[in-house]
Copies of this chain bind each other. A is one copy, B any other.
Amino acid sequence: MTISPVSRVPLSLDVAQRLRAAILDGTFPAETELPTETELAQSFGVGRSTIREALRVLQAHGLISGADTVSTARPRVTHDRTAGAAGLALSTALQVGAIPLGDLVALRMLLEAEAIRKTTSVPDAVRSCLVTMAAAVENTDIHTFHAADVDFHVQLAYAGGNQALGFVIGVLRDCIAGYLLDALDAVADRGTVLARLLAEHQAIVDALDAGESDRAAELVVAHVRDFYEPETP
């Protein structure tokens, strides 16, 4: 009877959990390089392959930066982009059908309305998004427009002052982005649609500038709803 570990999780996942805990509790502080794979393997008493699998898991959770961007030979720094990972995971759940799109949209409306209600002044970053969008409308550049659109909403969400709110809205946007782009792609008369969207964004900012947060909240709800339920007039 050599061993008899408590449960039956593979070593690699166990290591992943321990590494995750070590990162979260600050043993490996943020923006710091982790030890070498070989060092980790030795300190955990496992083989390098096992460590690599564990690192992949952490990477998928966004806790360590690594190969998803450049993957050069530089070791690896610690957590960042966890929000992106969460967005991806949420969007996966969405695609697989675990969560209906309509529910996500409803949630987004609720959150954005609340964030805007709490917003008193419009940050410059939001205004510059409007400028970018306007330029994109000229060129009928869907992708630029969409990027600015996303930025607009996220910036506005954070402007409300509640970081949790801003964060979740950002994740939701990441998650819905695919659908949005597809929808824009499928639209025949893009110029008109983009112009209308731009006008709606502008109206929201105008309402906020006028100090009418509640009206801005209504506008944003309508803005989101209309886009996802174009059939309802």
Contact = CB atoms under 8 A, between A and B. Distances in A.
A68 B9 contact: yes
A103 B165 contact: yes
Please tell me how many copies of the chain the complex holds: 2
Interface in A100-149: 100, 103-104, 106-107, 110-111, 114
Given A24-B96, A57-B57, A61-B92, A67 B103 contact: no
19 contacts: A8-B72, A10-B71, A12-B67, A49-B52, A53-B56, A61-B89, A62-B92, A63-B96, A79-B96, A83-B98, A85-B93, A86-B89, A90-B171, A94-B164, A94-B167, A99-B164, A100-B163, A100-B164, A110-B111
Interface of A: 8-10, 12-13, 20, 24, 30, 49, 52-54, 56-57, 59-63, 67-68, 70-72, 79, 82-83, 85-86, 88-90, 92-100, 103-104, 106-107, 110-111, 114, 162-165, 167-168, 171-172
